[in-house]
Amino acid sequence: MKKINAVGLRCPEPLMIVRRELRNMSPGEAIAITADDPSTERDFDLLCRNLGYVMEEHKAESADNSALYFFVIRKP
């Protein structure tokens, strides 16, 4: 599974990187993303709903006044 660390990147960079990677992947492959930009929750949800990708995992963890967001997205 391909992994992308988007920590420190701000909208729209994480979305652009993930979208480009998904386009280059074969059906059935998945990508794991770690981000700290809260807008990635909305962006990746819309990406999956609008383009038919499958959000297999989405969770958030908070610590020390910051949050990390974890996603697994699969190309159908």
Q: Mind telling me the catalytic residues?
A: 11
In this structure, is the dihedral angle defined by the CA atoms of residues 58, 13, 7 and 22, taken in order, positive or negative?
Answer: positive
- What helix, strand, coil percent values describe the chain, rounded to 5? 35, 40, 30
